[in-house]
Amino acid sequence: MSLHYVIDGYNLINHPAFLRSVRKNKDQRAALASLIVTARLCGSPKNKITIVFDGYPPALETNKKFAGIDSIFSRDDSADERIKKIVERSSGPKNIIVVSDDKEIRFIVKSIGAHVLGIEEFMLPLEDTADKAGDIRALNKDLNYSQINSINQELKKKWLKAL
């Protein structure tokens, strides 16, 4: 059973977690789609991804796909309204995960039966990867291999003795 991620596009693009992860780019929408795909933020490639943006697309650009991700512009509606309609029209709202920090849309889609993720939660795999890489680098600066091995041996003795 695959999931359908419905993402509040500009809500995510304007969030500090996104701005920390992506360099200033001419096309933030394409950078968002690229980040989602390369960092596998939506898990399995079989999961469907729809990014909903407020307003109208730039000139000569209509709703388009980028790396398998659907981009929708809400036109005369708000992105929140379009997201609500997507969830309402779905035959299986329990398979939908809406990514937004907007309290109203989170409440509405939850009441319909969809799941919600905040922007921080959605971007967490990026933060975890950066933190782990930083921890490993810090550890390598402080301890060499023989010191790490010595500590591990000492801990094994204590743990095995306690059992």
Predicted pLDDT of residue 162: 59
User: Which of 7, 107, 102 lies closest to 53 in space, CA to CA?
Assistant: 7
Q: Do 25 and 64 belong together in one domain?
A: yes
Domain count, the chain: 2
Contacts 24+ apart (CB under 8 A), 84-87: 84/108, 84/109, 84/112, 86/6, 86/50, 86/52, 87/6, 87/112, 87/113, 87/114
Of residues 91 and 139, which shows the higher confidence score? Answer: 91
Q: Do 63 and 90 belong together in one domain?
A: yes
Query: Residue 85 is part of which domain span?
Result: 4-122
pLDDT tens-digit series, residues 20-43: 777 775 678 888 888 898 888 998
Residue 112 neighbours by CB distance under 10 Å: 14
Amino acid code (one letter) for 37: V
Q: Do 113 and 130 belong together in one domain?
A: no
Q: Measure the CA–CA gap between 35 and 39, rounded to whole angstroms.
A: 6
Q: Do 47 and 63 belong together in one domain?
A: yes
Q: Measure the CA–CA gap between 73 and 63, rounded to whole angstroms.
A: 6
pLDDT tens-digit series, residues 58-106: 876 655 667 789 999 999 999 999 999 999 999 999 999 999 999 999 9
Q: Measure the CA–CA gap between 51 and 154, rounded to whole angstroms.
A: 52
Q: Do 42 and 117 belong together in one domain?
A: yes
Of residues 156 and 82, which shows the higher confidence score? Answer: 82
User: Which of 135, 132, 112, 129 lies closest to 41 in space, CA to CA?
Assistant: 129
pLDDT at 148 over 80: no
User: Measured on CA atoms in the order 107, 108, 113, 114, is the torsion positive or negative?
Assistant: negative
Q: What is the CATH number of the domain that holds 22?
A: 3.40.50
pLDDT tens-digit series, residues 42-55: 988 899 999 999 99
